[in-house]
Amino acid sequence: MSELYEKSLTEISTLIAEGEVTVTEAVKSCLDRIDQTEPSVNALLADNREEALKQAEEMDSQGPDSGKPLWGVPIVIKDVLATKGTKTTCGSKILEDFTPFYDATSVARLKEAGAIIIAKANMDEFAMGSTTENSAYKTTYNPWNTNHVPGGSSGGSGATVAAGQCFAALGTDTGGSIRLPASFCGIVGVKPTYGRVSRYGMIAYGSSLDQIGPMTRSVEDSARVLSVIAGHDERDSTSVNREVPNYISDLENRKDLSGLTLGLPEEYWGEGLSGEVSEACRKAVEKAEELGAKTVPVNLSMTDYAIATYYIIAMAESSSNLARFDGIRYGHRNKDADELIDLYTRSRTEGFGDEVQRRIIIGTYVLSAGYYDAYYRKAAQIRRLLRQDFEKAFESCDLILGPACPTTAFPVGDLTSDPLQMYLMDIFTISLNLAGLPGMSLPVGVGSESGMPVGLQIMAPAFEESTMLQAANVLEKNLPEFPMPKL
């Protein structure tokens, strides 16, 4: 039983369905692994062990349900997603005691598919960060080297999957917050097309950017989770009413990469890219060519403007979304305030961390009278040009490949005093959020100098997740098997 946690989601699901492993054994294996690794990784804010074990026993008494594709599979949820009856803090003191009375749609769909939610994952406060050092509760560490960051803001989700504490986790991606920790932690992370997965029940940071996606140890596992959580939801006005492909069966339709054209943007492969990341990613591209893919150069000339555009839009939207946390309706409330403005000020100052306050202030500034046209409107115009960049690039290729991040995971504390350098970590990921397109990080090697994982980013046209997953699956099966970290 002690080795069950090493199985992939697909493997454990098959073992449970065939009766070779009980749901209780699968859950206990993950909980034992949490007990073993959590003191050094700090991936979780809370576990749901009593309820999870009770649910596992009930499921074992019923027997496997072939109609539920994730029957008995232990999964962790990023703490930005509402979970009925379980605290959802968003990594913030202002929501320290908030317990939702409903499940986010993505969480509800996991439960309907038979998954067992065993824990909530740590995160950067309100998903604002690239390292999971901005959580109000704890710093999460990378299972490959606990002196290094796991990436963020879904660092808890990335670390818990990499450490073997669960078989999959849900993360959210506003500017790379699934793909960056997936790259740093050596796992698969998928950001779907905007609108493919319902955002209902997700505590919003940037409403036009946020997207929920799976974080797993294999491409097939991500395809299984995505097939469950994807689809239209009437409760989310940004959800797209479009048929969801059978991502799992589609994987079988491609055995090699022949017929695929892969675009290589020069903006992602040049200056600023570390040697070890370049080496690992280029070897993966060479393998893709051996498997029949054709590679062509493409131009994403607006990439240099992506960071500024993203942070103007994201901070503006965060200032609007976080206005609801005022100390009156729910969340932390200062008890010593004498008047309304004082209540707002004290409650928000005590409840929000430095990074959240920084983004709210900047966002309010760019939306203010006299500055809106100069900043927000201009950013919205450049955003359209960024999307046009991708649309033109995809005229000459099926997928675009590049590194997920310029570096491998760096030591904890290295960039906490320099927010601008921290923001630059997202240079290769944020354009997809601005364009609303799907992308994923696939582990393709370990840095020759750092010994830390390297992720290759695969980008696709809107709603072409199936093509993206097919290519990643073929590549994954033809690269050396990626190991789990030794904790």
- pLDDT tens for residues 134-168? 999 999 999 999 999 999 999 999 999 999 999 99
Please compute, for residue 48, the number of CA atoms within 13 A of its CA located in the half-sphere on the CB side.
23
- State the pLDDT confidence band at 100, using cuts at 50, 70 and 90: very high
Question: Average pLDDT, whole number, for the chain?
Answer: 96
* d(C-alpha 327, C-alpha 307), whole Å: 32
- Catalytic, 218? Answer no
pLDDT tens digits, residue range 360-371? 999 999 999 889
Chain centre distance of CA 20 = 32
* d(C-alpha 78, C-alpha 205), whole Å: 14
pLDDT tens digits, residue range 159-171? 999 999 999 999 9
- State the pLDDT confidence band at 483, using cuts at 50, 70 and 90: very high
* d(C-alpha 481, C-alpha 269), whole Å: 25
pLDDT of 314 over the 50 cut? yes
Crossing angle (nearest 10°) for helices 9-17 and 23-41 = 150
Which residue is catalytic, options 28, 78, 120, 191?
78
pLDDT of 2 over the 90 cut? no
* Tokens of residue 310, six digits: 């993203």
Percent of the chain at pLDDT > 70 equals 100
Which residue is catalytic, options 13, 153, 222, 318?
153
Q: For residue 1, what pLDDT is reported?
A: 44
Instruction: State the amino acid at position 442 in one-letter form.
Output: L
Those residues whose C-beta lies under 8 Å from the C-beta of residue 418, and which sit 6 or more positions away, are none
**Strand 399-403 relative to strand 453-459, pairing:** antiparallel
pLDDT tens digits, residue range 400-409? 999 999 999 9
**Beta bridge pairs of residue 453:** 446
Q: For residue 201, what pLDDT is reported?
A: 98
Residue 248: CB atoms within 10 A of its CB come to 16
Render the burial of 295-306: b for 16+ CB within 10 Å, e for the rest.
beebebebbebb
Lateral strand order in the sheet of 44-47: 44-47, 116-121, 74-78, 168-172, 212-216, 188-191, 439-446, 453-459, 399-403, 261-265, 294-298
* d(C-alpha 432, C-alpha 452), whole Å: 25
Crossing angle (nearest 10°) for helices 23-41 and 49-62 = 160
More confident residue, 115 or 331: 115
* d(C-alpha 169, C-alpha 184), whole Å: 15
**Cα-based distances in Å from 473 to 217, 222, 265, 286:** 12, 10, 22, 16
Give the chain's domains with CATH numbers.
4-255+438-478 (3.90.1300.10)
- Catalytic, 78? Answer yes
* Tokens of residue 373, six digits: 């046209």
Percent of the chain at pLDDT > 90 equals 93
3-state SS, one letter per residue, for the chain: CCCHHHCCHHHHHHHHHCCCCCHHHHHHHHHHHHHHHHHHHCCEEEECHHHHHHHHHHHHHHCCCCCCCCCCCEEEEECCECECCECCCCCCHHHCCCCCCCCCHHHHHHHHCCCEEEEEECCCHHHCCCCCCCCCCCCCCECCECCECCCCCCHHHHHHHHCCCCCEEEEECCCCCCHHHHHHHCCEEEECCCCCECCCCECCCCCCCCCEEEEECCHHHHHHHHHHHECCCCCCCCCCCCCCCCHHHHHCCCCCCCCCEEEEEHHHCCCCCCHHHHHHHHHHHHHHHHCCCEEEEECCHHHHHHHHHHHHHHHHHHHHHHHHCCCCCCCCCCCCCCCHHHHHHHHHHHHCCHHHHHHHHHHHHHHCCCCCHHHHHHHHHHHHHHHHHHHHHCCCCCEEEEECCCCCCCECCCCCCCHHHHHHHHCCCHHHHHHCCCEEEEEEEECCCCCCEEEEEEECCCCCHHHHHHHHHHHHHHCCCCCCCCC
pLDDT of 420 over the 80 cut? no
Instruction: State the amino acid at position 367 in one-letter form.
Output: L
- State the pLDDT confidence band at 14, using cuts at 50, 70 and 90: very high
* d(C-alpha 169, C-alpha 178), whole Å: 10
Average pLDDT over residues 221-245: 97
* d(C-alpha 429, C-alpha 274), whole Å: 16
- Catalytic, 347? Answer no
pLDDT tens digits, residue range 29-72? 999 999 999 999 999 998 899 999 999 999 999 989 989 999 99
Contact yes or no for 278/408 (Cβ under 8 A): no
Please compute, for residue 160, the number of CA atoms within 13 A of its CA located in the half-sphere on the CB side.
39
Average pLDDT over residues 369-383: 93
Contact yes or no for 390/300 (Cβ under 8 A): yes
pLDDT tens digits, residue range 436-468? 999 999 999 999 999 999 999 999 999 999 999
CA angle 73, 188, 168 (to 5 degrees): 15
Instruction: Report how far apart the first and last C-alpha atoms of the chain are (Å, whole number).
Output: 18
Q: For residue 47, what pLDDT is reported?
A: 87
Contact yes or no for 402/264 (Cβ under 8 A): yes
Q: For residue 415, what pLDDT is reported?
A: 86
Which residue is catalytic, options 135, 157, 177, 441?
177
- State the pLDDT confidence band at 272, using cuts at 50, 70 and 90: confident
